[in-house]
Structure 1
Amino acid sequence: MFALLHLKHAFNESDEGFVECRGETPTWQFFSGQAYLELRRPCDAATLIKFRQLLGEECVEELLAQTINWLLLSS
């Protein structure tokens, strides 16, 4: 779920738009940890919204910042 939130944020997609596009984008699926291409949606937009609300905005921002830091250090 966090990989989905990261991709949504990185590409500035709406919840609905991201869920729709993600099913058609093999690279996003691979980043999300899937080994095989699946044409179905990973979840509905409401699930993504509930997950983000459960974490809280501050936690989501901190996780995104840590991911960016890790990517910068590993390159």
Structure 2
Amino acid sequence: MSVRPTFTLPLVSVLLLIVGLAAPTAIGVPVLLVLAALVWWLSYLSWPVVQGVQRLLRLATIGLLVAAVLGRLSA
């Protein structure tokens, strides 16, 4: 990851979020699940070095993505 530009991961995350929310349910839900898995994986890797509020923000982000998936499925 160190050889890639620093904006690559945030850009990919934003694109996945936009596609996941704007695409039809059959496409959007899997895309949001991929994004949730990516955020979970990065949170898992960084968990030992982050502290209180940072951990809460990571958990809240994953929770919001799961809520978005459930919202897309129930609509």
TM range (shorter): 0.3 to 0.5
Of Structure 1 and Structure 2, which has the larger fraction of its residues in helix? 2
- State the TM-score, normalized to the length of structure 1: 0.34
- State the TM-score, normalized to the length of structure 2: 0.34
Q: Bigger radius of gyration, 1 or 2?
A: 2
